[in-house]
Structure 1
Amino acid sequence: MRTHIDHDNGPGSAGAPCLARNPARTTCRVAGRGAVTNPAVRFDTRITAPFDDGWDTLGQEVGAPDLETLPRLETSVIPDTTRSAISWNNSPDIGFDRAVNPYRGCEHGCIYCFARPTHAYLGYSPGLDFETKLVFKPEVAELLEKELRKPGYVPRTLALGSNTDPYQPIERTLTLTRSVLEVLDRFNHPVGVVTKSAGVLRDLDILTSMAQRNLVRVHLSITTLDPRLARVMEPRAATPARRLQAIARLAEARVPVGVLVAPMIPALNDAEMERIMQAAAAAGARHAGYILLRLPLELRQMFEDWLHTHFPDRGRHVLSLIRQSRGGELNDPRFHHRMSGQGAYADILRQRFAKAASRFGYDETDRHLDCTRFALPEAAPLEACQMSLF
C-alpha cells in the first residue's frame, strides 16, 4: 500500500525530471525540497544515466530552472513491516544505546542530514527520495510495548528522533510519535526527544506529566536565526522563530528543554553560534550542544552539489574549512572525532561554544533521567486474556 500526502508546508511541492536516479549528478532546484540531486542507490547493480538525443530533453534539468514550470512532486508514505521498534547501538561517543524512530526518511528536507544515506538500505536514493518517499511503522507503539515487557529488559534513556525527526509534517496525520510517548508514559520510561519542529507542543500534556517524574528532556535543533537561510537549508522545518517559541512554551510548562546548535557549517552558519545560544537561553533553554557538519557516504557529493547551486560565491571556502577540520577529507567517521572535528578551526569552534555556554548560563551538569520508576503497567484485558492461554 502506498498513499500520497501533500503537505503545504512551504512554497509548494514541485518535482523535476532530475528525480530519476542520476549518476551524472544533474542538478535542479525543486520548490519546497532540500536536495538538488537524487543520486543512485549505492547498493544497486544497475544505474541509469541521462542521455540527450538532440531534442534538448535534458535542458530543464541543467542550472536553475524556472520553478513554476516544474510538475508537482507529492510525498509518498509507505508502511514499514519491521517487527521491532527499538534500534540499538554501542557507539561510545553518544549518550544513549537505544532509540525509536517511527519514520524513515524526513520531509523536512534538510540538506545536511546525516541520516540521508540510510535511505539506501530501503532501495531509495538519499537525495530527493529521502524527503519524498517516507516509510512509517504503523504498529510502532504496540511493538515498543512488547519489547518493554520482555523479561530482563533494563531501562535506560531512550532517544526519540535520533535518526529522523519524530515531529516531521506527516506526524500531524499519523500521530505515531504521540503513541510512542503514551507507551513510555505508562511504563514510566525515560525519553530524550530531539526535533526541529514546533509540533512537539501538541504533546505538551504528556511531556509535562513525564517531566514531573524526571522522565523527559527535549532538545530543539536550531541551525540559524535567518529565515532565508533556513528555507534553503531545511525547507519544510519550522521557522527559527517558531522553534524559539517552542522552547519558551516548554520551559514555561517546566519541561526540561535545551538547544542543539547543529550542525555548524563553516562559513555558512557558524558565525551565528553565539546568537542562537543567546536567543535560546532567553527563551528558556538550559542545556546546549553542538555538532560540526558531518558528511557520510553520498552526503559528501550531495552537499557539494547543493552548495555550488545555492552558494557558488563561497562553495570552495566552505569545503576547504571542512577538509581542514576532517584531516583533509570531507568526512571523518572515527568515534570521538566525527561530531566535533579536529584542527585549528574545530578547536576555535569548541572554545566558542564553551565560552558561550558559560556566558549565557547553560547547565553543563550531566543530569540523568530517572530509570528507577520503570514498571510494567497492567496488561490490557485482551492481552491478559491471550496470555492466560499460556
Structure 2
Amino acid sequence: MLRDGFYELQARTVIERVPQAAGIAQQWAVSPYRGCAHACRGCGARAAHRKLGLDLGRDFDTRIVVRPNVAERLRAELQRWGGGEIAVGLGGDCYQAAEETYRLMPRVIAALAGAGTPFTVYTKGPLVLRDAELLARAGARVAVSIAFVDERIRRAVEPGAPPAQARLELVSALVEAGVDCRVLMAPVLPLLSDAADQLAATVRRIAAAGVRRVEPVVLRLPPGTRAWYVEWLEQAHPQLVARYEELYDRAGLPSPAYEGRITGQIAQLCRMYGMEYGAPEPAQGEPKAAQLALV
C-alpha cells in the first residue's frame, strides 16, 4: 500500500538476525523502516531492498518501506524471546523523516520496555529527542553515528543525513536528558576519512560533546552495498578503486591489519580524551520463555 510516498508492508516477523559482518555487538534487530532517506552510500542494509523488488541504490534512498504493524508483531514475538539485547533501526534509520508521519517508535519502545528486553537504538536523526524521556525511562541505549566531522565528506557520502555538528549537539542533548548515549564512529572510510588528523578532529569534538564512549566501525561493503559504493567511488575518486579492491575481501570485510591500525588509533585517542572505547557489554534482560525460532 502506498501512502504519502511511503510503501506500507505488513510484517510477518520483525525480530531478525544481524549479519555478523555488520560489526556491532547485538545479534538480533528490529527495524520499523526499510530503506533510508539519509542515502548513506556505504549503508550495509541496502541488499534487503532487492528482496522487496526494489533496487538497492536510489530506491533504497527514496522508496521507504514502512512496517505499520511492527509494534504489534514485536510484542507477540517478545512473549517467547530469550532476553538478549536487540538493536533497533539497522534496516533504515528509525528516526528518519518517515517517523514524523508514522510515529512507530514510541510503541516499539513501549513493547521492548514492557517485555524487559534491553535494546540499543541506532540513529543519526534528531527526532530521537522527541522520545528521550521514554528512552531514559526504559533504560535504553542510543548510539548516534558520527564517523567524521568534515562536511565535504558528509555531503558526498551521507547527502540526506544531518550535519556532524547537528549530531554532536544531539548527543549533548541526549546525555543531558539522562539517556545512555554513545557515539558510533561509523563508518570510517578508508583513504577518505581515516587520516590521523581527521580521526583526531572527530574524537576531539565527540569528547567536547560530553559523550563518554566511542565505538568505531570501519566501513563494511557487503554484496549490494559494495557495487553501489564502488560505482560512486569510480566517479568521485577513481584513483582509489584499486586500493579498495586490495583492502576488502569477498565478503566485504576490510583487511584485519588495516582495521586494527585504524581502531587502534581511535582507541588511543579515546584514552587521551578520557573516553571509554568500544561497544559496552551486551545488556541482559529477563527471559520470558523459550527463545523464538526465526528463519
TM-score class, shorter-chain normalisation, is 0.7 to 0.9
Aligned counterpart, 1:323: 245
- For structure 1, which runs of at least 5 residues remain unmatched after alignment? 5-75, 377-390
1:126 is aligned to 56
Shift of 1:359: 1.3
For 2:222 and 2:20, locate their aligned partners in 1 and report how far apart those are by CA, in whole Å.
16
| 2: CA distance, partners of 1:121 / 1:332 | 19
**Code of the aligned partner of 1:127:** G
Query: How is 1:134-145 mapped onto 2 (pairs within 5 angstroms)?
Result: 134-145=64-75
What is the rounded CA distance, in whole Å, between the counterparts of 2:90 and 2:179 in structure 1? Answer: 19
Alpha-carbon distance, 1:362 to partner: 2.1
Tell me the residue number matched to 2:292: none
The answer to whether structure 1 residue 303 and structure 2 residue 229 are counterparts is yes
Name the CA shift for 1:286/1:198 in 2 (closer, same or farther; >3 Å): same
Partner amino acid for 1:98? W
In structure 2, what is the equivalent of residue 184 of structure 1? 112
1:203 counterpart (111, 131, 142): 131
Distance in 2 (alpha carbons) for counterparts of 1:347 and 1:370? 28
Q: Give the aligned partner of residue 229 of structure 1.
A: 153
Determine the structure 1 residue equivalent to 2:212.
286
Partners of 1:279 and 1:375 in 2: how far apart?
41
List alignment gaps of at least 5 residues for structure 2. 290-295
**C-alpha RMSD of matched pairs (Å):** 2.3
Aligned equivalent of 2:14 = 85
Cα deviation for residue 307 of structure 1 reads: 2.3
Q: CA deviation at 1:273?
A: 2.0
Amino acid aligned to 1:280: I
* 1:178 shift after superposition: 2.2
Larger radius of gyration between Structure 1 and Structure 2: 1
- For 2:223, the aligned partner's letter is L
SS at match of 1:225: coil
- Structure number with greater CO (CA < 8 Å, separation at least 6) is 2
Q: Which has the higher helix share?
A: 2
The answer for the alignment partner of 1:3 in structure 2 is 3
- State how 1:24-103 maps to structure 2 within 5 Å: 76-89=5-18, 91=20, 94-103=24-33
TM-superposed deviation, 1:131:
1.1
How far is 1:367 from its partner?
A: 3.7
Residues paired across the two proteins, number: 285
Distance 2:229 2:88 in 1: 26
Whether the 8 Å CA contact 2:46–2:57 is kept in 1: the answer is yes
User: 2:246, 2:19 → 1: CA distance?
Assistant: 28
8 Å CA contact retained: 2:133, 2:177: no
For 2:204 and 2:55, the matched residues in 1 are separated by 37
CA distance in 2: counterparts of 1:296 and 1:91, whole angstroms: 11
| 1:223 CA displacement | 2.4
What percent of counterpart residues are identical? 31
CA contact (8 A) 2:267 2:277 kept: no
Q: TM-score, normalised by structure 1?
A: 0.68
Give the whole-Å Cα distance in 1 for the aligned partners of 2:112 and 2:182: 21
Residue 167 in 1 paired to residue 85 in 2? no
Secondary structure of 2:227's counterpart equals helix
Instruction: Report deviation, 1:375.
Output: 7.1
Measure the CA separation in 1 of the matches of 2:92 and 2:57. 14
Report the counterpart of residue 354 of structure 1 in structure 2: 267
Secondary structure of residue in 1 paired with 2:16: strand
2:189–2:219 Cα contact (<8 Å) kept: yes
